[in-house]
Structure 1
Amino acid sequence: MNSAAVLNVSKLCLGTMTFGEQNSYEDAREQLNFARESGINFFDVAEMYPVPQRAESQGKSEIYLGRWLKEAQVSRERVLVATKATGPSGQMTWIRGGPTSLDSKNIEQAIDGSLKRLGCDYIDLYQLHWPDRYVPMFGDIDYDPTASYAPVPIEEQLEALSRAKEAGKIIHVGVSNETAYGVMEFCRLADSKSPLPRIVSIQNAYNLLCRTFDSTLAECCHHHHVRLLAYSPLAMGLLSGKYLTPERGPKDARLNLYRGRYAEAESRYSFSKPNCIPAVTAYVDIARRHGISPVALAIGFVLRNPLIMSTVIGATKLWQLKEIVEASEVKLTAEVLSEINSVHERYPNPTP
């Protein structure tokens, strides 16, 4: 089954994790209106958003999207809404009475909470934000067996999602920040214990600086018909080239504005990583030599992957969103792709 065809999604998906922190509702409405006018019909939120996460703003991204859907009188059948249940975290104690979990009870509560904030009767794509088991993620690379703990069984999670589907609360199921093992288990259980729902997508980071999907995950997804919902195509703005200055970018750029409050970004997209800035510099040079913008190079690279369902884009300013939408129309030549691969061989995955 072709999950992209089932969902009939646009090639770009507007991410909303800035809504409620960097972006006011007026900002969000402006972005959402422009996205819709540009042919984007797919919007991604999460109960945890906005990021950086705070008790005072948690849920605002969903609230803003729901408010826009109502005020703009958008036909619910003409847009697709994706949201996510927060994975285990000992820090976000304000979500569902935390520390959060992805057991049956918590998944049910998370779905009901998102539906209420969104003001919707159903969610098109419901995702588990990250696994309820130990996996290396957000900048970690190597699996450490000693860090493993007793996880919530994946079968229990699928059973909870199955009940939500039967109740009409969700339509499709996906995972996020998952591993090849996780994809295989979700698919194996769904295939062997029908009517458990099958995952149709995996939302993982994928960009010029992070191509880890292209190894074992790509093979799993290809054979099990799971499509990639790629997030962070600009690597938190690094691939725009704006941080290639002595000051390391504008003061209001996200990686500068939230320094010290944004653990994931600082661990994954740290300027201090040995090959990070050299790789970005090399990719920006390719773009300039071929007369395209660094943003077009980065977005074009992601969109050319045949396993892509859609690419999650985000912006804090409307002009940035416009630039990304325009850049998505640029097709990369074989020569450009060859040069990209040469840089990747020199600097493989500097921000995994």
Structure 2
Amino acid sequence: MEYTHLGRTGLTVSRLCLGTMNFGPHTEEADAHRIMDVAHDRGINFFDTANAYGRDGEGNLKGRTEEIIGRWFAQGGGRRERTVLATKAYAAMGEWPNEGKLSALAVRRAVEASLRRLNTDHIDLYQMHHIDRDTPWEEIWQAMEVLVAQGKIIYVGSSNFAGWHVAQAQEAARSRHFLGLVSEQSLYNLLDRTVELEVVPALQHYGLGLLPWSPLRSGLLGGALRKEREGTRVRAAQAHADELLTTHRDRIQAYEDLADELGVAPGELALAWLLGRPAVTAPIIGPRTQEHLDSAVRALDVELDRKTLDRLDDLFPGHRPAPEDYAW
């Protein structure tokens, strides 16, 4: 396993982050525990979850994924001590006021509930799952500072922020002499490269690590056409994935052909590309099985030359930083 620092911090994390969103809805608890054990065996020390993960069949938010992780920690054996644990807050966990978003009260309640479900006394990376346009940064940072002082969280991250949100957050933190954000989770893959316009430059400027989510775009970059032919494709988690596959079928076929030419699995190619992108600390992989996990780890050994990178850019055009991308 390869390791790096999370953004500008001294925190050492694996170059792959284990995403746990499938735990509960798609992966049974025993299998989830096995996957986490194998992740440790493979050297992955960075796990990501959220209080909203684990929806039941009717879409209710139960926090089941955090509970599954908490019961895994309870088995001991150094599981918690060896894990850099990241979770998130923002989503409404109930219908009553202050059960979601990022007011000081909501953040306090959310972190206490996550700590109980996760069976731990602290969260290593506490992330805002979405921007809260109704709560001022002074209130958010005061709440986070209290949690840091209490030892309940260590670092703060964001998810789904625009570049100007990152700048807002960091300048407000700077005025309080607070570390502020250390990482940002964004949708980033060969098909979705919008963050290259302004988010990535903002992260580079402020020294934040980028944690790309959906690196295989709901499986579309993981050999979707091959699996379709073989009859082994699993229904994608996102409803519009089939529509995207129809729209981009020719490009995805050319992409899978390129992977065959290189002798690697399509998913390994997608992850290898992300691992070489600016500001990227660790793509968030969401394996449903041990086989998916092992394939992701193999991506660390894939080296892409300039010719291959140019061919990927031809298939999936990216962006230059703004404003050069659209102006002189």
**If the length of structure 2 is used for normalisation, what is the TM-score?**
0.88
* Distance in 2 separating the partners of 1:130 and 1:54: 23
1:223 corresponds to which letter in structure 2?
H
Q: Give the equivalent residue in structure 2 for 1:262.
A: none
Secondary structure, counterpart of 2:224 in structure 1: coil
Q: Give the equivalent residue in structure 1 for 2:243.
A: 271
Residues 1:130 and 2:130 are matched in the alignment: yes
Task: For residue 242 of structure 1, report the CA deviation from its aligned partner.
Answer: 2.2
Q: CA distance change for structure 1 residues 85 and 249 in 2, over 3 Å: closer, same or farther?
A: farther
Residues 1:173 and 2:146 are matched in the alignment: no
Task: For residue 131 of structure 1, report the CA deviation from its aligned partner.
Answer: 1.1
Secondary structure, counterpart of 2:126 in structure 1: strand
Residues 1:318 and 2:290 are matched in the alignment: yes
Residues 1:237 and 2:219 are matched in the alignment: yes
Residues 1:80 and 2:52 are matched in the alignment: no
Q: CA distance change for structure 1 residues 254 and 270 in 2, over 3 Å: closer, same or farther?
A: closer
* Distance in 1 separating the partners of 2:140 and 2:129: 13
* Distance in 2 separating the partners of 1:4 and 1:319: 33
* Distance in 2 separating the partners of 1:347 and 1:179: 15
Q: Give the equivalent residue in structure 2 for 1:185.
A: 168
Structure 2 unaligned residues grouped into runs of 5+: 321-328
Task: For residue 80 of structure 1, report the CA deviation from its aligned partner.
Answer: 0.3
Q: Contact (CA 8 Å) 1:31, 1:318: kept in 2 or not?
A: yes
* Distance in 1 separating the partners of 2:57 and 2:135: 24
Q: Contact (CA 8 Å) 1:17, 1:45: kept in 2 or not?
A: yes
* Distance in 1 separating the partners of 2:114 and 2:32: 18
Secondary structure, counterpart of 1:240 in structure 2: coil
Q: CA distance change for structure 1 residues 303 and 54 in 2, over 3 Å: closer, same or farther?
A: farther
Q: Contact (CA 8 Å) 2:124, 2:154: kept in 1 or not?
A: yes
Alignment of 1:12-27 (within 5 A): 12-27=16-31
Secondary structure, counterpart of 2:200 in structure 1: helix
Q: Name whichever of 290-299 and 272-281 sits farther off.
A: 272-281
* Distance in 1 separating the partners of 2:93 and 2:314: 45
Q: Contact (CA 8 Å) 2:67, 2:118: kept in 1 or not?
A: yes
Q: Give the equivalent residue in structure 1 for 2:265.
A: 293
Q: Contact (CA 8 Å) 2:17, 2:48: kept in 1 or not?
A: yes
Residues 1:219 and 2:201 are matched in the alignment: yes
Q: Contact (CA 8 Å) 1:4, 1:309: kept in 2 or not?
A: no
Secondary structure, counterpart of 1:222 in structure 2: helix
Q: Contact (CA 8 Å) 1:244, 1:277: kept in 2 or not?
A: no
Q: Give the equivalent residue in structure 1 for 2:274.
A: 302
RMSD over aligned Cα atoms: 2.6
* Distance in 2 separating the partners of 1:125 and 1:192: 22
Structure 1 unaligned residues grouped into runs of 5+: 134-150, 259-264
Q: Contact (CA 8 Å) 1:161, 1:197: kept in 2 or not?
A: no
Secondary structure, counterpart of 1:207 in structure 2: coil
Q: Name whichever of 56-65 and 14-23 sits farther off.
A: 56-65
Q: Give the equivalent residue in structure 1 for 2:50.
A: 46
Aligned length: 316
1:178 corresponds to which letter in structure 2?
F
Q: Contact (CA 8 Å) 1:17, 1:51: kept in 2 or not?
A: no
Q: CA distance change for structure 1 residues 2 and 76 in 2, over 3 Å: closer, same or farther?
A: closer
Q: Contact (CA 8 Å) 1:46, 1:85: kept in 2 or not?
A: yes
2:291 corresponds to which letter in structure 1?
W
Indicate the percent of aligned positions where both proteins have the same amino acid.
Answer: 33
Q: CA distance change for structure 1 residues 100 and 2 in 2, over 3 Å: closer, same or farther?
A: closer
2:81 corresponds to which letter in structure 1?
E
Q: CA distance change for structure 1 residues 286 and 17 in 2, over 3 Å: closer, same or farther?
A: same
Q: Contact (CA 8 Å) 2:86, 2:124: kept in 1 or not?
A: yes
Partner deviation per Cα, 1:275-294 (whole Å, 9 max, x = no partner) = 43233222212211222221
2:297 corresponds to which letter in structure 1?
V
Secondary structure, counterpart of 2:74 in structure 1: helix
Q: Contact (CA 8 Å) 2:121, 2:152: kept in 1 or not?
A: yes
2:161 corresponds to which letter in structure 1?
E
Partner deviation per Cα, 1:79-119 (whole Å, 9 max, x = no partner) = 100000024xxxx5627667622211101111111101011
Residues 1:208 and 2:181 are matched in the alignment: no
Among 144, 153, 161, which residue is 2:144 paired with? 161
Q: Contact (CA 8 Å) 2:72, 2:79: kept in 1 or not?
A: no
Q: Give the equivalent residue in structure 2 for 1:143.
A: none
1:127 corresponds to which letter in structure 2?
Q
1:112 corresponds to which letter in structure 2?
E
